[in-house]
Amino acid sequence: MASRKKGKIVNVRSVTAYLLAPWASVYAASKCALHSLTDTLRLELHYFGIDVVNVVPGAITSNIGKSSLSSYNQRSEWKLYKPFEEITERGHIFIKH
């Protein structure tokens, strides 16, 4: 790309970097790191004619949460989170930053 003086790098992030949810700290941190990487690469590669962009799809409904809940009662440490089960399942705990 650099030798041709053109190209495009597309990184896919998550809305989780903007709307934080409990128990997603590592995932959210990795998406925030990707944001910083993308911004830095955009500055570094601009001279070479390479565009660097972030794509941030919105929240989607999937079975990933339901799948993780299937092991919920099998692990003793998860009992600490039992009071938050209903609101976490509905996805109603979000903190804007």
Let me know if residue 2 belongs to a domain: no
Cα 29 from Cα 97, distance rounded (Å): 13
Please write the tens of the pLDDT for every residue from 50-90. 999 999 887 667 676 566 656 555 666 667 777 766 766 66
State the pLDDT confidence band at 95, using cuts at 50, 70 and 90: very low
Q: Examine the residue annotation and report whether 79 is marked as an active-site residue of this protein.
A: no
Q: Of the listed 27, 79, 81, 82, which one is catalytic?
A: 27
- Residue 47: inside a domain, yes or no? yes
Q: What is the mean pLDDT of the segment spanning 13-17?
A: 78
Contacts of 33 (CB under 8 A, 6+ apart): none
Report the pLDDT averaged over residues 11-39: 83
CATH code assigned at 54: 3.40.50.720
pTM for the model: 0.60
The domain tally of the chain equals: 1
Average pLDDT of span 17-46: 86
Catalytic (active site) residue 31 = yes
**What is the separation, in whole angstroms, between the first and last Cα of the chain?**
36
Gyration radius of the chain's alpha carbons: 18
